[in-house]
Amino acid sequence: MDAFGDIYLYLWQRLPLILLFVSGYLVYQLMAATRITDAFVSWALRKSRGSTSALLLYVIGVSAALSSFIPNTITVLTLLPLLKKLDKGFAGQGVDGMTTVLMCSAIYGSAIGGMGSMIGSPANALLLGMLDFYQIPGREQITFFNWFLWSVPLVVVFVLIAWGVVAGLGLPAKARGVVVHVDCLDEVCETTGRQRYGSFLFWLYMGFWVSEALARQIIPGFVAVSPLVSSGFFILFLYLTFGRPAPESMFGSGPLLKIGGLLNGVPRRGFLFILALVAIFWAVHSLGIDEMVVVRAGEILQGDMAPRLLFFLTILAVIFLTEMLSNTAVVAAFFTIAYYAAMGHDMNPMYLMMGVGVASTCAFMTPIATPTNALAFGEMKGASLARMLGLGFVLNVAGAVLLTGWLSWVLPLVY
């Protein structure tokens, strides 16, 4: 009976966090249903005025912004039609080699955006669960709001570094100075009433959870009533999403979402590459290769070394292992490795475990690293594997240096 009571108490205390992730999924669905993402991407890319270098920056920045709140694969799916048009536009002007650069820009941005918010990556949810499992002191201080305090500047700097890599090392010489035209969505540049209503719900979602996080910090006793307040907001959000009729437009009528449409958006294009990726991960796991490699990496990290070096090697190991092995398998194992390695080096394990979670999103190098990479590589015909590997390797190393310096310095200031 006590065990059930403990589980109930834990779930009640963590109910706001659970509702945060559930309502985050609904936000993704309403953005897809109203095609807010498509309109946002078209608007942002038009701001580049077709300048090649600026265009790459906007592709990376837009995909990072979107993937902070919606799945990486959906972000790339949203970008793919426009990327293909851009690729044809460059080819029509005699510029070859843009396929890989455009593809990598979308992949880089979507991966970087995964660290931008608490709901940006499944690894973040697993991180919070592991912090609870090990009862890490200070884990209660991690909120939807203060996550942005360290993640947003990190994402901005990471986007600029990624832009420097693709524009400085990957951009063909013939592409410099070339201007391409970016069309509006369905030849319509204005947003619809339905899209504006969807945007309102997005900002309502953001406003409530930021306010909830702030209230936890400044209002005495709010933590005790937060599950009730969060439940009330969630019920209201469900009504506004599934019950209240939204303005009609070319994208639909009635409520924004329907129960039967919650599984929509499953990617179909590039599906063969994703199936191949699943087969590879299954074979690797069946042979025990992933477990063997992760265990060996963990043994290396147990050696005596400076805390900053341990931080760097842990992040570097996670980044490169996720290029070859299942992201979920690597991050799940490395949370435990990071915990014991940090304890053995008199470090706060929460910072190193957060570093593992963030690093697990940085799969920039191979098509088999994530379903997102596989989808993009499969869809962008003519992409160069050699160039993808080279650019991704540079960004992997640069990212490991950035994450080590930023997280080891900033996280102790925030938490």
Token readout for 34 is: 């109203």
Domain match, 58 and 125 both: yes
User: Which of 234, 261, 288 is where one domain is finished?
Assistant: 261
On whether residue 266 sits in a domain, the answer given is: no
- Give the range among 46-55, 193-202, 223-232 with minimum mean pLDDT: 46-55
Q: What number of other Cβ atoms are within 10 A of residue 307's Cβ?
A: 15
Domain match, 284 and 222 both: no
Mean pLDDT rounded to a whole number for the chain: 79
Mean pLDDT of 113-132: 83
When pLDDT is cut at 50, 70 and 90, the band that residue 267 belongs to is: very low
Domain match, 129 and 40 both: yes
Mean pLDDT of 61-67: 86
Q: Are 190 and 53 in contact (CB under 8 A)?
A: no
Q: How big is the CA angle at 58 (ends 72 and 92), to the nearest 5 degrees? A: 100
Q: What number of other Cβ atoms are within 10 A of residue 201's Cβ?
A: 23
Distance between CA atoms of residues 151 and 156, nearest Å: 9
User: Which of 261, 294, 312 is where one domain is finished?
Assistant: 261
Domain match, 255 and 278 both: no
On whether residue 68 sits in a domain, the answer given is: yes
Domain match, 19 and 138 both: yes
pLDDT score recorded for residue 268: 45
Q: Which amino acid is at 413?
A: L
pLDDT score recorded for residue 260: 65
Mean pLDDT of 345-349: 84
The DSSP result for 27-51, as a single string, is: HHHHHHHHTHHHHHHHHHHHHTTTB
On whether residue 343 sits in a domain, the answer given is: yes
Q: Pairing between strand 246-249 and 252-254?
A: antiparallel
Token readout for 52 is: 């090649």
When pLDDT is cut at 50, 70 and 90, the band that residue 394 belongs to is: very high
pLDDT score recorded for residue 266: 45
Q: Token pair 């909120």 is at which residue?
A: 143
Domain match, 139 and 231 both: yes
Burial level of 51, CB count in 10 A (0-12/13-18/19+)?
Answer: middle
User: Which of 195, 228, 261 is where one domain is finished?
Assistant: 261
Question: What radius of gyration, in Å, describes the C-alpha atoms of the chain?
Answer: 22
**Helix 122-133 with 327-344: angle, nearest 10 deg:** 40
Q: Tell me: the pLDDT tens digits for 350-368? A: 999 999 999 988 889 988 8
DSSP state of 171: S
More confident residue, 402 or 272: 402
Domain match, 279 and 195 both: no
Domain match, 276 and 342 both: yes
Q: Are 368 and 403 in contact (CB under 8 A)?
A: no
On whether residue 97 sits in a domain, the answer given is: yes
Q: 330-334, 382-386, 403-407 — which one is most confidently predicted on average?
A: 403-407
On whether residue 163 sits in a domain, the answer given is: yes
Token readout for 184 is: 């509006």
72 Cβ contact partners less than 8 Å away, ≥ 6 residues apart: 110, 111, 113, 114, 121, 370, 372
Q: Are 154 and 117 in contact (CB under 8 A)?
A: no
DSSP state of 361: T
Domain match, 282 and 310 both: yes
Distance between CA atoms of residues 57 and 26, nearest Å: 29
C-alpha dihedral, 111 to 103 to 169 to 320, nearest 10°: 40
Count: domains in the chain:
2
pTM for this prediction: 0.73
Distance between CA atoms of residues 129 and 70, nearest Å: 20
Q: Which amino acid is at 255?
A: P
Q: Tell me: the pLDDT tens digits for 124-154? A: 878 888 888 888 888 888 888 889 899 999 9
Dmax (CA) for the chain in angstroms is: 73
Domain match, 87 and 209 both: yes
Range of the domain at 406: 271-414
Q: Tell me: the pLDDT tens digits for 9-60? A: 767 877 887 887 788 778 777 777 777 766 766 676 667 666 788 888 988 9
Q: Tell me: the pLDDT tens digits for 149-186? A: 999 999 999 999 999 999 999 888 777 777 776 665 55
Best CA proximity match to 84, nearest among 95, 99, 72, 74: 99
Domain match, 276 and 387 both: yes
Q: Are 406 and 354 in contact (CB under 8 A)?
A: no
Domain match, 290 and 254 both: no
